[in-house]
Structure 1
Amino acid sequence: MSEANVLIETGEGVEVLLVDDESDFADLAATFLERADDQFTVETASSADAGLARIDDRRPDCIVSDYNMPGMNGFEFLEAIRERYPDLPFILFTGKGSEAIASDAISAGVTDYLQKSPGTEQYELLANRIRNAVRTRCEAQRADRQQQLMRLTEFAGDTGGWELDRGSDRILLTAATRRAIGRPDQAEIPLEEAIALFHPDDREDVRQTLSKAFEAGEKLERRWRLQPSDRDERLIDMTITPVVESGGRVTKLRGAGHDITDREERRQELETYETIIEALTDAVYVLDEEGRFTYVNDEFVELVGYDRETILESTPSLIKDADAIERGENHLRRLLSSDGPETIPFEVTLQPREGDPIVCKDLMGVLPYEGDQFRGSVGTLRDVTSAKEREQRLEQQNDLFKKAQDVADVGAWSYDVQTGEAFLTDKAYEIHGLSPDEELNPATSLGFYHPDDRPAIRDAFDRAVETGESYDLELRLIDTADDLRWVRTRGDAELEDGNVVCVRGTLQDITERKRRERALEEQTEELDTLTTELEEQYRYLFEEAPLMAVVTRAEDGRPIIEDCNDLFVDTLDYERSELVGAELERFYTAESQRELLDEGGYERALGGEFVRENRGLVAADGETVETLFRAVPRKNTPEGSRGTLAFYIDISERKRLERERDRLEEFTSIVSHDLRNPLTVAEGYTELAREDCDSDHLARVDDAIDRSQALIDDLLTLAREGKKVTGSEPVELSDVAKRSWETVDTDQATLETDATHVIEADKSRLQQLLENFYRNAVEHGGDEVTVHVGDLDGGFYIADTGSGIPESDRDEIFEAGYSTADHGTGFGLRIVEQIAEAHGWDIRVVDGERCGARFEITGIVTAR
């Protein structure tokens, strides 16, 4: 049975749509694909438009598309598909292959990318790609269904549930509710006892609401204060749902409560930290319920280029086109839906008042509101034009009592204490990675738990057997495939005449929930100061941010340092006691003092203007520290007092680098323009001279010109390759070695490689390093030289069968201008050394095994 067969549970196979404007090629590919897997049914279309029409009529399991097609190309076709079917597998199968195309394909959201090649082997590879894509989609859909089932049974965080029986006036409590009221072992309590757990002022409303739900049969929502003790009061949003029998009578009420205490406290804290919002580097906006801007910070004003008054009188149509507005409204509807997320990240293109469009990441949420009283939305914009970021927030649902146990993905077990017999459901076996015909009981299952968790489950089970004590644990379990899973295991004893006769329990795979919780924790750490623990984050920003921060108060119109972070102290090298309480201008250069006081920079900041200028600070040793300065007025200060919150970014190093960059640009301009132009003129006149006379001297002139041009190329490379590598990726060494060989004129030379390493490197610069090695080998070893590329421990080597390099010359070969070849520039190996140093690698030359030269590059991070 093929791999694709197990993906299609209906047995109907895999339907593939192949779109290519070359009809003959498309028919041939379809034939080979159907021969490669009898589960495939392949239809073809000669254009993207024809493909869209075919998909609207009957959707395939996978799309295979060419890139270069008349009308709509492959990327535009993919975009049209994603708008209609976001998760439909899409493989780009194109004759145009390059790193840029592959990168663009991945950025566009293509499922897979494959370049066409000669021969029929490519169709077997394409068939495998199709199988993998379809399998991945099926597994994702199945995982999504499982996740939905899990959400019906798991009530995370502070959500609790209950069920009230009308006949007995007793309330059944979920575990989360029992924990919330401090009664973890009391599964059921009388109605009046439950009402007494609420604030005295809310109890009558609780009674009336329950009565109304019973009599009217209506779903109700209320907000009450839960007060299980005098020192513990929580604000709860409660949803009450009647359970109606077939005769129309309400016999039970089911409720779900969500603790919103912390959310309300955070909402109030937001007002306290308005100053921090103004200091954020992200643009912040607030829209009212009608979609008009009611607040934007200074970063937003600067981003879009309109004045604040114009923005606050407008809707997003001021800076967005109709498509972007429609997508934003769709996201808002998701936020407002009952099961929507709290925030949604998405990309949006803005059109500022002047200049090119700006691509931003928009993180949008809604303002807190009660019932149907929507108050508006809030969001942050981050310019990601040069480096797009992706960020997703996990959806949280607060659904309760949806016939949970009937649909829960839970295994069950029972153990007869008297006979020692055990029974387990199929799901319990599946969680352990076993089939139902294999032996599994409480004793043997202990070996599946993580060694550190075995004492806990052993003690809990023994107590249940001996004393009847129930348990509810979350533990790690290692199944037969050695996969680590998180499980929730529960056990409850059954007693007769005071003796335990049976222990029954459940086993639930909660691995996905644990992963979601970990992901949520990681995302929570990345939330800005608008989320929880704002005060701690502000302090962390103030003390630990990589910029100098100073809080001032105004005295007689002059700034006095009230507080500063350690970076400000360390940069200026004063004692903190010398800084705090001193006039800020004391630590400014004369020019910066004038800008601060005479030109009114401080007064403008106090007046609410977001000041951003250059400032020169004077350190204790008299040296000047060049900084980029930002200041905003402080908010929530005592009445009658004023001050600012200021940040200083040390740009001294940047200024130095800018000067170095200017010198480098001047050098490259001279080399590439002022030297090339005379050489080009000389080359032209040499050609004219050859028409008048045929002289061996002219050939020497041509050779000198070519050598000069090569020398210029290597000088430019030297100038540009000196920078450190700031971005690297895993690279197949063997693949890059072969590709580099194809770009060098090697005549009859031969490349051998058995390299298997995957190394961390800048791919293009690694390719240039290898090309220079190859040219060096051919220059010094002749047309028939053999070059070998192989692995080393922590690196790789390049060896050739040439004449080798004398030991006396090995200290000089990497020097600029050194060459023993008649036509060499002497810069090739110098460029090699610079590329190695930019990566942080070591390079040396030794004797080769076949008498030639051998270069060893070490200090490399290898992934395989």
Structure 2
Amino acid sequence: MFSNDDSRLDDSIRVLYVEDERGVSDLASESLSRENTRLDIVTEPSASDGLRRLRNESIDCIVSDHDLAAMSGVDFLEAVREEYPDLPFILFTGTGSEAVASEAVSAGVTDYLQKGDGIEQYAVLANRIENVVEQFRAQRAAARRERRLETLVSNLPGIVYRCRNAPGWPMEHVGGECERLVGYDCAELVGSEGVRWGEEVIHPEDRERTWNVVQEAIERGEHFECTYRVVTAEGEIRWMWERGRLVDERPADRAEDGHTGAPDALEGFITDITDSKERERDLRRSQRRFDAIFEDPNLLVALLDLDGTVREINRTALEYVEADRDDVVGEAFTRTPWWTDDQHDDVERWIERAASGDYVEFEATHPVAGGETITVEGFFRPVIDGDGAVTSIVASARNVTARREHERELKRQRDRLDEFASFISHDLQGPISVARGRLELALETGDLSHVETAVDAVERVDELRTDLADTLRSGEIVATTTPIDLEDAFDAVWTAIDPPEAMSASVVEPAAIEADPDALRRLLENLVRNSIEHGGDGVAVRIGGLDDGFYYEDDGPGIAPEHRDRAFTPGFSTKGNDDGTGMGLASVRQIVHAHGWEIRIEDGETLDGARFEIRTE
């Protein structure tokens, strides 16, 4: 047998020398040992004896004469090759010829050397023996490493690769579970005609980001790690995690002359993380570095023991209260300045849930320095070790005070617009009623003058519709204000209302009002309709200017003092039946407030009914 151990303790080379002439054999053994002390020579007189020793001892190289008694050197070589196809074999003969050499090469001889007339050729032979054995050992070691690598790759849950660092990342070598991961055989991904990993396998939406991650890591001189999706050969989308490094293939002279071009090759490992991606929250929880969280200036963060004792607190959290780190570390989290007494039970319950492995979301109000409060939303997250046990708790919160106030403001604006839409719907009923009434009169009497009034009412409906659309689009009930003559505005309203013939109106103390024209017109329309609704067909109204605004009054039944505070509430009506909707005065108040004005109900001065005083300054 021959040695298969590449880590020989003595680094010796055991040589089997086969020679049937005893004197020549002894000379060869002595000469070779003298020429190279690494050589350990054993001799045999025949090929059969040589085969026997070869099967029972560790041999690194065979040296054989060609002219043996029972079997030629070439026959001996052929017998060796049947059992040991790669063992170094040197034919060392004194009767060499081209025919013998050709025959030996065909039989697989490692080297061929003639003995010559003196002992000088033994020095050449010793050198040849050392060279062929070292080469053989190196080849065997490389083959063994290759087998080990292949075994390792075949057992890896993923793909190993070598590719060019160029768009598309063309592969030079791919090994591992390619078909299981992406549906392609390894060979399909290799070569210029192969499937391009970067252009055909990586998901289109992830290609640019993944390329940038890799190139940025290369520029920093670091290994790269990236996560991305792939589209398999069957069209399935899966998640991959990749780690790799750059391999600098630049020649030394290019590096020395200052060449800065990017190296050409990448080597790395890719594995499927589709299943773990679904548990990404747990992975982030166990892998996230606490120092990164603690340095986030937007987060209030505390690290807690399972019983709720504060182990660490970040600077951001301390900025909100009059306390320093030593005041809170080691204390129960429920007793720290961020919580009020009535919050203790909730906090204890959140800690217990997190300690049992739950991911707890919360929103709370924190007292802060100066007697103020802030609104926060956050989490109590269990920190889990590799065995799945909860080891600690991270409590984190974000100040959302401004966001919550913005949300409340949006809700107020939405409610205001909803209310406005309701008022417009109410205001539309007036001109619609006018149009319907006038058209019915035109049909009954044949008097087409009623149609003209009906057309005016329809145009008023269109104006109100446009006003509604503009307001909903802008979010503002009052847009641009302009000086308006009160008498002109009231005349236009009186015409549009089409009041009963018995009703009378007068404008006294004319005034100019800075107002939104459309909004002021709706305000006056609602006041007039309110007078008609509560005062009847013969009601008289009066309007005039004040030093700081204007007034409107009628001689209807008025509004009792105990009802005046509720008169502007939607749905309120002083009528004892269901005829009144209670929306008209609510609409008036909304328009007044939208202008920044004030309105008050008083007893009539000139007329005996209700008096509305609107202060615009």
Instruction: Place the TM-score, normalised by the shorter chain, in its bin.
Output: 0.3 to 0.5
Larger RCO: 1 or 2 (CA < 8 Å, sep 6+): 2
Bigger radius of gyration: 2
TM-score norm. by structure 2 comes to 0.35
Structure with the bigger percentage of helix: 2
